[in-house]
A = this chain, B = another copy of it.
Amino acid sequence: MTSPLFKTDIDSMEQRYRANLINSLSGFKPAVLLGTSDGTTHNVAIISSVVHIGANPPLLGMIMRPHTVQRDSLGNIKKSGFYTLNHVSTDWIDKAHQTSARYAPDESEFDAVGLTPFFSETFSAPFVKESEVKIGLKVAQHFTLINDTEMIIGEIQELHISEDYIASDGFVDIEGLKSACISGLDSYHATSRLAQFAYAKPGIALKTK
């Protein structure tokens, strides 16, 4: 049964119900851990708002909520200018989700949930050792959106991915690397590939790769 819901229906929903509903509408989201440091305490926080901005220069965006548990991570990024994004594996989604608990500012979520900070010789923010896709970024643009959330765009400085999962055309098999995805606020999913398609052209039947 489908009855349309209108803006007035959404406005009158109970707050938690509305949060669950609206957070489901953007579709499947990447499960990613954000790594930051204030120099003493190394923070790691689950986020699902990462979005591709461009390949040249290589840019990723993310949406952050300054008045939530993300406050410490956001403060670290503003101070240092550097952060990491690390794909969550389907094997340890529980540890990843536990990073969303409200730990004290001087407590490291790495220690609390049982993940391992990893530092490369060339990057100041902590990567997540257990992650199969580790990305080091430098803030390139940072601004506030209409609803007082903040958008941070970072330029990729450094990448750690097993070469065995990078195809000859550059495609990374993140399903083979067991990257997880999220729906709503708290549902975690594995994936199974249906098809990879060739470049589409008008009037020509679509081919798989």
- Report the stretch among A3-11, A36-44, A71-79 that lies at the interface: A3-11
Q: In which size bucket is the chain A interface? A: 35 or more
A39-60 CB mask vs B (1 if < 8 Å, else 0) is 0000000001111111111111
- Indicate if the CB atoms of A183 and B174 lie closer than 8 Å: yes
- Indicate if the CB atoms of B186 and A98 lie closer than 8 Å: no
A143 vs chain B, min Cβ distance (A)? 8
For residue A100, which residues in chain B have a CB less than 8 angstroms away from its CB?
Answer: 200
State in angstroms the CA–CA spacing of A204 and B43 once bound together: 19
- Indicate if the CB atoms of B18 and A162 lie closer than 8 Å: no
- Indicate if the CB atoms of B23 and A52 lie closer than 8 Å: yes
CB-contacts of A150-209 with B (<8 A): 151, 153, 155-164, 166-167, 169-172, 174-175, 179-181, 183-202, 204, 206, 209
For residue A186, which residues in chain B have a CB less than 8 angstroms away from its CB?
Answer: 196-199, 209
Q: Which residue of B lies closest to A167 (CB)?
A: B20
Given A53-B149, A98-B200, A145-B141, does the pair A22, B188 have CB atoms closer than 8 Å?
no
- Indicate if the CB atoms of B63 and A194 lie closer than 8 Å: no
- Indicate if the CB atoms of A18 and B200 lie closer than 8 Å: no
Given A7-B156, A58-B22, A190-B192, does the pair A1, B166 have CB atoms closer than 8 Å?
no
Select A159's contact among B4, B15, B162, B180, beta carbons within 8 Å. Answer: B4
Q: Which residue of B lies closest to A94 (CB)?
A: B206
A87-120 CB mask vs B (1 if < 8 Å, else 0) is 1001001100111111110010000100000001
For residue A50, which residues in chain B have a CB less than 8 angstroms away from its CB?
Answer: 26-27
- 8 interchain residue pairs of minimum CB distance: A27-B30, A20-B170, A24-B172, A17-B170, A28-B181, A22-B55, A21-B170, A189-B191
11 A-B residue pairs with CB within 8 Å: A16-B169, A18-B56, A18-B58, A27-B29, A27-B50, A28-B30, A29-B51, A90-B194, A112-B202, A175-B187, A188-B193
Kindly list 9 other residue pairs between chains A and B, CB separation below 8 angstroms, not including A180-B194, A189-B194. A4-B158, A7-B156, A18-B55, A19-B55, A54-B149, A57-B147, A94-B197, A141-B145, A191-B191
